Amino acid sequence: MHAVVLVGGFGTRLRPLTNTVPKPLLPLGQRTILEWLLTHLARGGVKDAVLALGFKPEPFMRAFPDSQCAGVRLSYAIEDSPLDTAGAIGFAARAAGIHQRGETFVVANGDIVTDLAAADLVRRHKMNVQRGGQATIHLTPVDDPSQFGVVEHDADGRVAGFVEKPAPGTTTSRHVNAGTYVFEPDVLDIMPGDAPLSVERATFPELARCGTLFALPTDDYWLDAGRPDSYRRANLDLVGGRRRDREDAVHRSANVDASATVRNSVVGAAATINEGATVTDSVIFPGAVVGAGAQVSASSVMGDVAAGAVVRDAVVARG
């Protein structure tokens, strides 16, 4: 099975980290957000993935020089100008030959962190196709639906409509689009890929109007890691045992001085924590340096922290 992975966003909420590294390539434990996503897709039967690229394609090509990741073969679809989500899906699917081969395919946002079993979504989609379905979207529950666009669906999963940031009492749904979909190839007929088009604002409402859009709500771990606080949380959840997968908190090649203290934190490959330093509830990127006696808490550190510095609730980029 083929997947289209959307990785062309700007990652503005995570600047300055994303000034030099695209968001899907930021560390998540000892891998990257994209590596974990492709690992989960591979478990669901995905063998090939096309990365829908626009912004900074070169880092992805450098990260995967053999065009392989987590056992998935990679190809690239590079937009000349931004095409939005549905435009990018249509463009990438055609570049990968999905449209021509008439294959059912998966679409995933490249910056979503989730424990969703892709095989379950594909299995449900195949059942939905027997009832006239053309697309199935993964939904996740949220505590406060008024901050999101919620998806209304019936007991069989058929999507009835969408309500953007509903006022209290206007909808009973608290499920939102979780960023993983399965499409039949004929959906590409309404995603030509030659102009900007939104899957959320155009494609899904059109499929819902036709009665061919279905949803699968689950309670799997799910997180939009696009803000500094949620990005840090995604890392700490992975090493803290709050996920199905578990990751080493400190990379074996990291240099942590015996007098340093590291608590509830991720320390990447070849990072250095010098003598007397304290790191708490933080993400220390590969190659970063925390100086002697420095105190780092609730922060993400890509660059270096000077000796004796105190860094709290901060993002430290290179330079």
**Digit-coded pLDDT (tens) for 146-168:** 666 788 888 889 998 887 666 66
Number of Cβ within a 10 Å radius of residue 248:
13
Measured N-to-C along each axis, helices 33-43 and 118-129 cross at an angle, to the nearest 10 degrees, of: 50
Same domain, 6 and 88: yes
Residue 237 in any domain: the answer is no
Structure tokens at 22: 């695209």
pLDDT tens string 51-107: 998 766 788 888 888 889 889 999 999 988 889 999 999 999 999 999 888 899 999
Token look-up 């015996």 returns: 258
Q: Among residues 190, 224, 258, which one ends one of the domains?
A: 224
Q: Rounded CA gap, 175 and 182, in Å?
A: 18
Same domain, 300 and 183: no
Q: Rounded CA gap, 106 and 215, in Å?
A: 14
Residue 239 in any domain: the answer is no
The number of domains in the chain is 2
Same domain, 180 and 285: no
pLDDT of residue 11: 67
Residue 234 in any domain: the answer is no
Same domain, 209 and 301: no
Residue 144 in any domain: the answer is yes
Same domain, 140 and 47: yes
Same domain, 198 and 283: no
Same domain, 210 and 283: no
3-state secondary structure of 240: coil
Q: Among residues 189, 224, 259, which one ends one of the domains?
A: 224
Token look-up 């003598």 returns: 275
Same domain, 52 and 101: yes
Structure tokens at 305: 């922290």
Residue 236 in any domain: the answer is no
pLDDT of residue 163: 76
Please indicate, yes or no, whether the overall pTM of this predicted structure exceeds 0.85: yes
Structure tokens at 141: 């529950």
Among left, alpha and beta (phi > 0; psi -120 to 50; other), residue 239 is alpha
Same domain, 203 and 292: no
Structure tokens at 257: 């001085």
Q: Among residues 208, 224, 240, which one ends one of the domains?
A: 224
CB neighbours of 60 closer than 8 A, spacing ≥ 6?
Answer: 7, 22, 24, 25, 34, 51, 53, 76
Token look-up 């099975």 returns: 1
Number of Cβ within a 10 Å radius of residue 134:
21
Structure tokens at 42: 């591979």
Residue 235 in any domain: the answer is no
pLDDT of residue 167: 67
Same domain, 183 and 291: no
Structural domain of residue 285, as residue ranges? 248-316
3-state secondary structure of 23: helix
Residue 230 in any domain: the answer is no
Same domain, 84 and 213: yes
pLDDT of residue 168: 67
Segment-wise mean pLDDT, segments of 10 residues, the chain, 319 residues: 86 80 91 93 93 82 88 91 92 90 91 90 94 94 76 88 70 83 95 91 92 94 87 92 87 95 96 97 96 96 95 93
Residue 238 in any domain: the answer is no
CATH number of the structural domain spanning residue 70: 3.90.550.10
pLDDT of residue 311: 97
Same domain, 143 and 286: no
3-state secondary structure of 19: helix
